[in-house]
A = this chain, B = another copy of it.
Amino acid sequence: MRTNYCGNIDASYVGQTVTLCGWVNRRRDLGGVIFLDLRDREGIVQVVYDPDLPELFDTANSLRQEFCVKIEGLVRARPEGQINKQMRTGEIEILGKGLEILSKADVLPLDFNQENSEEQRLRYRYLDLRRPEMSDKIKFRARVTSAVRNFLDENGFLDIETPILTKATPEGARDYLVPSRTHKGQFFALPQSPQLFKQLLMMSGMDRYYQIVKCFRDEDLRADRQPEFTQIDIETTFMDADGVMAVTEEMVRGLFNDLLDVELGEFPKMSYAEAMQRYGSDKPDLRNPLEIVDVADLVKDVDFKVFSGPANDPKGRVAVIRVPGGASLSRKNIDEYGKFVGIYGAKGLAWLKVNDKDAGMDGLQSPILKFLSEEVATALLQRTGAETGDILLFGADSYTVVCEALGALRLKLGTDLDLLQGEWRPLWVVDFPMFEEIDGQFHALHHPFTAPRNMTPEELAQAPGTALSDAYDMVLNGVELGGGSVRIHNQDMQQQVFSILGIDAEEAREKFGFLLDALKFGAPPHAGLAFGLDRMVMLMTGSESIRDVMAFPKTTTAACPLTDAPGFANPQQLQELAIASIVKDSE
């Protein structure tokens, strides 16, 4: 129906007659001439209708925003003064010789020139996606998936589909359930990830697997979560952690290079322990120069229980963030940061301003100054490298609370004070603990199929609390892009891990019997990783929400304002599925 895309016509087409289809982005009547901005997926071109063809002119004059039209016309150079070098089509315009209205448009429910509510944008998503800033994100996402696939295809990975109707998965979050009609009373679960299937594929000898695949979690949604999301899911055989990190790092480096012209360089590796120590987070944003410095040893004898208590507790932590130039923070600012760390369980935010580093105790200002000897104060300045004009902000509590509170404070200070340096700062976080202990019960930090580093099942059983796993997370600018691990390929080890996690033999058999069976028949060493595609594209496009990089996202209550899903079901169908709705009137 057309000869070209609107957005692709440049000066090289001058003199040619073209046929274009698209939408009226804008119509103006200037001095008796109609100017149309005609838009399609590739961009906008200007079309001009002169009054010397009255019928055509009248049709052009009747067009309104978002009418869908087909035009024919002659490409000509724009007059000198009207050239727009910013646009590919900015040196030309099209003198209209034909015009057909393919489809009219009512007045739009969205105003493209101002902010619209998210509800309205999702209800009229097909209009929202016509905005170039939105369609550019969707187009970019397609380029990302295409580049990922090309890389993985070229590296011998096989795209293999795994089931969506499957068994409840062990990732921890709530499963979406699907009632079975043929097995009444029973349910499928939608997968939280294809974890076990991809491991089975390695056991089947597929060697290298990938899939760009929908996963599902029925969680209470936050800004960056969706009930269905997409993973770039990867698994390899006969490859260790370094091998998996090397190939996936190469992939991500290639993506940034090819699609954003950004050279990420080699990703540094940092242990989980170091990340928590220096940044209070297992996904540190390295663009932020602030670091957390431990000072428990310096304050364990001070006469201030808030410090000395945690400093003398093996599970406590006392640490400091030094903010260069932070002495200029107002009391009000500091109070607000105090409230902020309260969100993470901190009971307050002690501070110390260095008004004059060379003036001894007189140069320092702090509500807790009276508790500090000059010796301690000097040691604190020295340890943190404080200079005149800086502020020290203290965290003193359990190790976890201090990490979370100062970790979050560090990020907030970085943004508030505009401290971020560099555009892209990737790293690998490695050497995670196998388990975290909560109320005397061990939980898998990754998932129960992650292998420990260099340990026998017996060694693991003796020291589960200190065991490190062979897991790795790729982190970029404080966002976890992906994570993975070497998997257990030995039945004894898998049973040992289940046992440490408090999964008894019967439960293990019921939930994971097929995996334990598969480990009996020559299961190969294997390892893998999964990236969150939505988050990756969000980061690469500088979007504020993953909703902006999904064509049809759901609201934070997991609904679709466009289609009105979910909806009520046909009672007969519920009967066939052998389920009944038991909603209470109060709900």
Contact = CB atoms under 8 A, between A and B. Distances in A.
B174 A181 contact: yes
Contacts of A206: 41, 129, 135, 138
Given A161-B214, A227-B165, A520 B106 contact: yes
Interface string A129-162: 1100001001101100110011001000011111
B41 A205 contact: yes
Nearest to A129: B204
Contacts of A216: 164-165
Nearest to A565: B167
A356 to B, nearest CB: 57
Contacts of A214: 161, 164, 214
Interface stretch (A334-342, A384-392, A398-406, A553-561): A553-561
A557 B182 contact: yes
A583 B578 contact: yes
Oligomeric state, in number of copies?
A: 2
Contacts of A5: 207
Most B CB atoms within 10 A — which of A167, A196, A525, A551?
Answer: A551
A201 interface: yes
Contacts of A554: 163, 165
A138 B167 contact: no
Most B CB atoms within 10 A — which of A162, A165, A214?
Answer: A165
Interface residues of A, number: 126
Given A228-B163, A558-B182, A106 B569 contact: no
A180 B566 contact: yes
A542 interface: no
A249 to B, nearest CB: 19
Nearest to A563: B167
A372 interface: no
Interface stretch (A97-105, A302-310, A496-504): A97-105
Interface string A233-246: 00001111001000
B581 A579 contact: yes
A514 interface: yes
A13 interface: no
Contact of A142 (B159, B163, B579): B159
A162 B188 CA distance: 21
Given A186-B568, A216-B164, A580 B579 contact: yes
Contact of A158 (B105, B139, B188, B576): B139
Contacts of A2: 238
Most B CB atoms within 10 A — which of A102, A139, A238?
Answer: A238
Contacts of A14: none
A273 to B, nearest CB: 28
30 contacts: A1-B243, A2-B238, A66-B522, A68-B522, A68-B524, A70-B238, A102-B525, A104-B522, A105-B521, A105-B522, A127-B521, A138-B206, A146-B159, A162-B552, A163-B554, A163-B565, A164-B190, A165-B228, A167-B564, A179-B179, A179-B579, A180-B558, A182-B557, A182-B558, A186-B567, A187-B566, A189-B565, A514-B562, A579-B581, A579-B582
Which 9 pairs between the two chains have the least Cβ-Cβ distance?
A129-B204, A105-B522, A185-B583, A186-B566, A167-B565, A68-B522, A41-B207, A180-B566, A142-B158
Given A168-B567, A182-B558, A184-B587, 7 more contacts: A5-B207, A23-B205, A106-B520, A141-B160, A187-B568, A196-B563, A578-B582
